[in-house]
Amino acid sequence: MAAEFDVEPDGSRPLGDEMEIESPPDSQHITSNESNQPLDSGPQSVIEADNNGSNDKFQKLCTMLRRHEPAFLKFSQDSPQILVNSVSAAKDLMQLTILVNKTNEDVAAEAKRQAEHNKNVMLILKNADRPYQEIQTRTGTMQQRLDETVDENPTKINASIQERLNKTIAEDIDAMKERLNETVTGIFAKIDASMQNGTELYEQAVIRAFEESGIFKTIVQKAVAKLQPHVSHPVDNGNNALDEDIQ
C-alpha cells in the first residue's frame, strides 16, 4: 500500500477533508452526481453498494493505522532490543527454573533423609524402651525388697544377736563351771593327799593346794588390774607394791 501523509508537529496525522487517500487501482471512483442518481435493482447497483462499503471500511482502517502509527513506529524501533531482552530474560528464567528445580530436589532429599533419620531414632528409642522399663521394674522390685529387709532386719538382727549372746553366755558359764569343778576337785584331791601323808596340817594343805592351782595368782592379777589406776608407783611381778599399799 503506497500512501503519503502529512505529519503534524505532535506526530498525529490530519483527519477529515485534509487527508488524501489513494484508492486501489481496481476501485471505481464515485462522483457526487452518480451518488445522487437513483439505484436500480440490477446487478450494477449491488456492485456499487459493495464498493461503497469497501471504501468506508478501507477509510476507517487507514484512519486507525494513522492514529496508531507512532506506536507502531516506536514498536518497530524498540522491537530488536525487546527481542534481545526477551532472549536474555528467557535464559535467566531457564537458569532460575533449573535452580528452583535443583533446590526442590535438595529439599526433597533432605526431607527424605530427615524422615529416615527420625524413623531410625524412633526405632532405637522403641527398642531401648523395653530394657529401660525392665530396669525400672527391677529397680522398683529391688527397692521394695530392700525396704522390706530394712524394716525386718532390726527385729531379726536383735533376735539373732540375743540368741547368739545367750548361747555364748551359756557356753562360757558351762565352761567356767567345768573348769571350776575340775579345779575344786584337784584342790580337794591335793588336800586329801597331804593330810593322808600327815606332813601338813589342814590349813597348810588348803593353802598349798590353792597356790598350786593358780587361783591365788589369778585373783591377785585381777585385783592389781582393778587397783592399777589408783596406784602411784609401778607394780612389779612380785606384788611388792600391792603389799605396801595393803600395809
How sure is the predictor about 105, in pLDDT bands with cuts at 50, 70 and 90?
Answer: very high
The residue-averaged pLDDT of 159-164 equals 76
pLDDT score at 229: 56
Range in 154-158, 179-183, 232-236 the model is least confident about? 232-236
Q: Is the pLDDT of residue 141 over 90?
A: no
Q: Is the pLDDT of residue 91 over 60?
A: yes
Calculated CA dihedral for residues 93, 99, 100, 104, nearest 10 degrees: 160
Q: Is the pLDDT of residue 100 over 80?
A: yes
pTM equals 0.27
Range in 24-38, 66-80, 154-168, 194-208 the model is least confident about? 24-38
Q: Give me 219's grid cell.
A: 585373783
Higher per-residue confidence, 62 vs 149: 62
Mean residue pLDDT across the chain: 68
pLDDT score at 210: 65
Higher per-residue confidence, 211 vs 128: 128
Give start and end residues of each alpha helix (H) in 198-213: 202-213
Under 8 Å between Cβ of 216 and 210: yes
The CA radius of gyration of the chain, in Å to the nearest whole number, is 72
From CA 105, how far away is CA 90, in angstroms rounded?
22
The residue-averaged pLDDT of 142-151 equals 78
pLDDT score at 97: 92
The residue-averaged pLDDT of 72-88 equals 79
The residue-averaged pLDDT of 165-171 equals 79
pLDDT score at 32: 43
Task: Report pLDDT digits (tens) over 169-183.
Answer: 778 777 777 877 777
DSSP annotation of 198: T
Domain residues of the chain, as ranges? 46-162, 163-229+241-246
Q: Give me 29's grid cell.
A: 471512483
The residue-averaged pLDDT of 193-199 equals 62
Higher per-residue confidence, 201 vs 150: 150
Range in 24-28, 105-109, 111-115, 152-156 the model is least confident about? 24-28
Q: Is the pLDDT of residue 98 over 90?
A: yes
Q: Give me 94's grid cell.
A: 531457564
Task: Report pLDDT digits (tens) over 2-61.
Answer: 444 444 444 444 444 444 444 444 444 444 444 444 444 444 444 555 566 677 888 888
Half-sphere exposure for 30 (CA within 13 Å, toward CB)? 16
The residue-averaged pLDDT of 143-148 equals 81
